[in-house]
Amino acid sequence: MKKNPLILDGNLVANRIKEALKDRVDRLVQQGVRPCLATVLVGDDPASATYVRMKGNACKRLGIESKRVVLERSTTTEELIDVIQELNNDSSVHGILLQHPVPHHIDERAAFEAISIEKDVDGVTMLGFAQNAFGQAALPSCTPAAIMAIMDEYKIPMEGKHAVVVGRSPILGKPVSMMLLNRNATVTICHSRTQHLEQLVSQGDIVVAAVGKPNFIQGDWIKPGAVIMDAGYNEGNIGDCDYEACYERASAITPVPGGVGPVTIATLLKHTVDAAEKTSGKQQ
């Protein structure tokens, strides 16, 4: 009889991360430094506005200041970069998060690159990516770091395992591949033009779903006993994996919601506190 898979509870991991931050925030505040995360939202996309509000609420609960900057949809790349530079120069701001996607007329990469590496708490800059690839990132991309935190919490072995990452975005698929490689996994990166995708996924001891398509990864693609890390979050609280079908074959799986998402937000808060400690010269 098949044993039910382990449900990798992201809320549990996120709560442990946030619990560990409370004393660090209190110490900083006692020293006259309140960690501050600035979120920049361009336009009025309702989903993005919801994400920014959630992050602001999470900051408030931990005593982290949340500075919200909302810009008109018509904002130009140059105007956005000017705002980011102002935040770079504001010593009271420790982390900068540009909510993406931005409107199509904006050069998103140029805007990301304007963020100071010391305040790049979401790990979106090319320098941050390079540091991550070398295993030297102080502030790696939050969702990949969340995936690794969950696997560490549940002591999921990575060394020598074959990890198949479905997705190659510069802030998810690529950095998580580097993280897994740095932990001595053998990594296959798949994407929208990969041929025989099902066959490659079926070889994975660890499958990271980061493709942004609901129910894309099918249950019969999954190697029996594989660990599934579903980083997808689509309309209707649906992940990138067909959860019920994949559940039947996995040894461990993240639910959606309640899996990678909460840990991503907790990681963003941790990075903000890390940055506040470092830039204030009071790193614990």
- Catalytic sites, residue numbers: 55, 99, 122
- Gap between the Cα atoms of 262 and 146, Å rounded: 9
- CB-CB contact of 119 with 90 (8 Å): no
- CB-CB contact of 212 with 241 (8 Å): no
Question: What is the Cα 243 distance to its own chain's centre?
Answer: 20
| Residue 275 in tokens | 């940055």
- CB-CB contact of 151 with 6 (8 Å): no
56: Cβ contacts below 8 Å, ≥ 6 apart: 39, 66, 68
In angstroms, the Cα distances linking 265 to 164, 242, 244, 246, 271 are: 24, 24, 25, 25, 10
CB-neighbour burial class of residue 193 (10 A; exposed 0-12, middle 13-18, buried 19+): exposed
